[in-house]
Amino acid sequence: MMGLLLLLLLSSYLHQGCQVTAQRLFTIRAVSLTVEPDSDSSRGTNVTLRCQAVVSSSGPEPLVREFSVFRDGSRVYTKTSSSSEDFLYLLPDARVSNSGKYKCEVSIEGKSMSSESRRLTVRGLSKPALHLNKDVVTEGEEVTATCRAPGETGSIFFYFYDNGNEIHEERVNGNQAEATLRFSSAGIHKIRCDYTVLITPDSYKSEESNTAIVSVKELSITPVLEVSPQYQVFEGDTLNIMCTLRNLLRSLDSPQLYLSQGTHLLSSGTTKVNHSMVALAKGPGLTFECRLDMGHVIKVATRTVLVTELFSVPTLTLAPAEVFQKEPMTLTCRSENVASERLDRKELTYTLHPLENPLISTDTGVFTGKALLFDFNYTCTAEARDIVKQSETLTVRPKVSVSTPKISIYGKAVLGQPIQILCQSDIGSLPINYTLLKGFDEVSTISVQLPGQRAIFRVTAHMPEELSKYMCEAKNSHREAPLSRRLNATVIVPLANPTLTVLPHLPDISEGDHLYLICAVKGSPPVTFKWYRVGDKLPLNTTTTDKNHKDFQIPALSKQDSGIYYCEAVNHANTIVQSDRVTIEVRMALWKKAVIGGVSLLVVSLLLLMACVLYFRSKRVRVPRAAVSVWSERKPEDVNDEESSTVNHEPDVEYTEVVHPHSVDPTRAAPLRKGTDTVYSELQKSSHDAADHHDYGSVQYAELNKEQSEINQYNPEINSAPDLPVRLD
């Protein structure tokens, strides 16, 4: 059982291996298409399209190849071959219809490749041939014409011509076309044809065919048109029009007659048509037409009748030509021309329309009354012998008298600059002529023709009072023109002479002062003032006032307020003026000067005091080698608090020390006592004089100790002296 299973597996494996071996490996390397003998060929050339495929495969067996040929994107031929040779697509005796873009495609076992496109152009068409089944016919008889394009294929348009004019067009998918021709006029007709082959997107046209002659005989039947009276036809006369047939043949189809005037059909019938009408003068004359319609045969007879006017179309006129509201006016209705041989002018009657108009007829064709307050349309009619003629519409537009004009400034008036003066009336019919006057002298005139148009005059004034001399008048008729009042306007005087005043005056400006910068100009307010300090980008202050001057205040000046100041001013004249620049230096305040002086005096006093102290100290009496300091007995540290307190709280008490020598050394100098008393007394006085300056006492105290030690160094026996000075209370 196991062996059988192995055998089955082995056979299956061998079978699969055989199948793998049987599968061919191949690749389509290139596909190309060539046109032989040339891609631009003449008609009748045998053209060959050669499709070559380069294929690489793994076995010797040939591969099945499918060749397809495409023209202009559409498949035109397919062939299967197992040969490796080139595939040839033949176009024998090529025609224009074979022109186009060709491409070859090769498919092998699901793989395919296409060649590049190649254009084939075949030039030349065959000459068309024309044939007629009849060459002699009568009016309305049919002729069959056949036009052939020998050897041509494809979509072809055939065209037929009669004496050079195209009379028929037909499209076929073959090389010939037939046309049924009918001729409505007798005579010789030359028939030709040609054709066009359509090869999208191009087309190719052939030469003309041979000429075929057709002789068309006229039918004897003709329409006849008669009008009476024939001559001297006047308006109001009765016209009789008759349309009949001549040489009617019974073998022909039933004829149909139509009598018409222009586009208006008057009557119709089979063999005879009559119509009567009143003659009216319209245009150059009355044209009538008698038309025979018999199958494909159409014949026409025409007649024009001249009609003389009995009277001309009336005209409606207005007098006067310009009429104002509620003013008298006259409308006249009149026919200028009257056929006197047929009509007396007195026979004419005139009527004004609409009938409810407010005018009254005062004479034949004359209507009078007053103009309305609004536009009104009038027409009139003239009538005689049942002939009525209407005039054109006359629109009477009563004019509105112009009102007293108003004079004003348009924009703003700046002295020395161009000023625009507007002169305008509230009501008044256009056109209106406005005239500007200075005093009573005419300056200029402006005619306002359109609504919305303005009369604006341009003048220049150098003095403000000049403007009050201007007036204007308005006129839209022959009547006296109303005059405006004198111009009353404010003239803006440009700014000039800007000044910057500083208070307090420059030398007296100190810290803490209240500074006023007063900017003043000459010119018309309102004025906008700006104050600047050089170095600052923005103005210090901006204000607008109705005066010619304004101040800017800087309270409590400091040294930082020192600098260069100026001001600018501008008014509605848009002129900016700038003042001169003022340098402001803020001085030191007086109290600071006094403080500095007092401090300086105090310092000088202290220096003098120190100098005096030093001077007295340098004058102090010393006993050589026996000088004893007041404090030699004990050091200042040993003085108790009670004594110190007594000295500090009673600064005005002077102490005198008496030294009682006990066993005085004979070597001690006699003036020692005096010297000691003097020094102590001076120290006490100095201490009292400078009770608030303890530092000085400390200095004296320290220097006294220093002197004491120096004395002790030079007189060692003094330290051992038993007798010490005792302070007396």
Cα separation, 273 vs 501, whole angstroms: 116
Same domain, yes or no, for 630 and 697?
yes
Same domain, 117 and 146: no
Q: If we measure between CA atoms, which residue out of 246, 241, 229, 228 comes closest to residue 268? A: 241
Which domain does 291 fall in, by range?
222-308
Q: CA 427 to CA 439: how far, in whole Å? A: 25
Q: From its phi and psi, is residue 572 left (phi > 0), alpha (psi between -120 and 50) or beta? A: alpha
Q: How many domains does one find in the chain? A: 7
Do 302 and 375 lie in one domain? The reply is no
Mean pLDDT of 366-379: 93
Query: 193 near 93, Cβ under 8 Å?
Result: no
Residue 1, domain member (yes or no): no
Res 594: pLDDT? 74
Contact 103/115 with Cβ under 8 angstroms?
A: yes
Residue 119 has pLDDT above 70, yes or no: yes
CA 648 from chain centre, in angstroms, equals 98
What pLDDT was estimated at residue 203? Answer: 85
Strand ranges (E), 342-454: 349-353, 360-363, 366-370, 376-384, 387-390, 394-396, 406-409, 413-414, 418-424, 432-438, 441-448
CATH number at residue 162: 2.60.40.10
Position 600 confidence tier, pLDDT thresholds 50, 70, 90 = confident
Distances from the Cα of 510 to the Cα of 244, 484, 506, 552, 587, angstroms: 131, 62, 9, 17, 4
Residue 415 CA, chain-centre distance (Å), reads: 37
Instruction: Name every residue whose Cβ is closer than 8 Å to that of residue 579 and which is 6 or more positions away in sequence.
Output: 498, 499, 500, 519, 566, 567, 568
Interatomic CA distance for residues 127 and 548, integer angstroms: 106
The amino acid occupying position 125 is L
- Give the Cα separation of 447 and 452 in Å (integer): 12
597 within some domain: no
**Do 329 and 289 share a domain, yes or no?**
no
Place of tokens 């003042």: 579
The answer to whether residue 72 sits within a structural domain is yes
Residues 645 and 702 in one domain: yes
- Are residues 627 and 663 part of one domain? yes
**Pairwise pLDDT comparison (524 vs 22), residue with the higher score:** 524
Q: Which residues make Cβ contacts (< 8 Å) with residue 310, sequence separation at least 6?
A: 234, 235, 236, 281, 338, 339, 342, 343, 384, 385, 387
* pLDDT value at 541 more than 90: yes
pLDDT of residue 370: 93
**Amino acid 638: pLDDT:** 42
- Whether pLDDT at 4 is above 80: no
Task: Give yes or no: residues 78 and 49 share one domain.
Answer: yes
Could you tell me the two tokens for 143?
């002729």
| Model pTM score | 0.42
Domain shared by 99 and 163, yes or no: no
| Helix axes 672-689 and 590-619, enclosed angle (nearest 10) | 170
Q: Do 422 and 516 reside in the same domain of the chain?
A: no
Tell me: do 273 and 322 sit in the same domain. no
Identify the domain boundary among 217, 234, 255: 217
Count other Cβ atoms within 10 Å, centred on residue 539.
14
Residue 455's alpha-carbon distances to 4, 408, 423, 434, 477, in angstroms, are: 126, 11, 6, 7, 17
Residue 326 clears pLDDT 50, i.e. is over it:
yes
In a domain, 606, yes or no: no
Q: Is 205 in the same domain as 295?
A: no
pLDDT at residue 686 tops 60: no
Give the strand pairing for 657-658 and 515-522: unpaired
Query: Is pLDDT larger for residue 581 or for residue 62?
Result: 581
DSSP per residue, 674-705:
HHHHHHHHHHHHHHHHTTT-HHHHHHHHHHHH
Give pLDDT, residue 262: 87
Of 123, 138, 158, the position where a domain reaches its end is 123
- In the listed set 374, 396, 418, which residue is the last one of a domain according to the structure? 396
Q: Please write the tens of the pLDDT for every residue from 646-673.
A: 334 334 433 333 333 444 343 343 333 3
- Give the pLDDT confidence score for residue 553 in this predicted structure: 94
Give yes or no for a contact between 141 and 215, defined as CB atoms under 8 angstroms apart. Answer: no
Give domain status of residue 595, yes or no. Answer: no
CB atoms within 10 A of CB 104: 27
Mean pLDDT score, 86-111: 91
For the ranges 149-158, 345-354, 503-512, 702-711, the lowest mean pLDDT is seen at 702-711
- In this predicted structure, the answer to whether residue 457 has a pLDDT above a threshold of 70 is yes
With cut-offs at 50, 70 and 90, classify the pLDDT of residue 17: very low
Task: Determine the pLDDT at residue 727.
Answer: 40
Q: Is the model's pLDDT at 331 over the cut of 50?
A: yes
State the Cα–Cα distance between residues 109 and 59, nearest whole angstrom: 15
Least confident piece of the model among 334-338, 502-506, 581-585: 502-506
Q: Is residue 599 part of a domain?
A: no
User: Is residue 293 domain-resident?
Assistant: yes
pLDDT tens-digit profile of 153-199? 888 999 999 999 999 999 999 899 999 998 878 899 999 999 999 88
Our separate counts of H helices and E strands in the chain read: 5, 53
The encoded tokens of residue 417 equal 């600059």
Residue 607, domain member (yes or no): no
What local confidence, expressed as pLDDT, does residue 694 receive? 39
Same domain as 703, residue 625: yes
pLDDT at residue 251, rounded to an integer: 55
Q: State the pLDDT at residue 685.
A: 38
Which has the minimum average pLDDT: 10-19, 92-101, 338-347, 423-432? 10-19
CA-based nearest residue to 718, from 654, 664, 656:
664
For residue range 227-273, list pLDDT tens digits in order: 999 888 998 889 999 999 888 766 556 788 999 998 999 999 988 99
Percent of the chain exceeding pLDDT 70 equals 80
pLDDT at 8: 53
Residue-level pLDDT at 664: 39
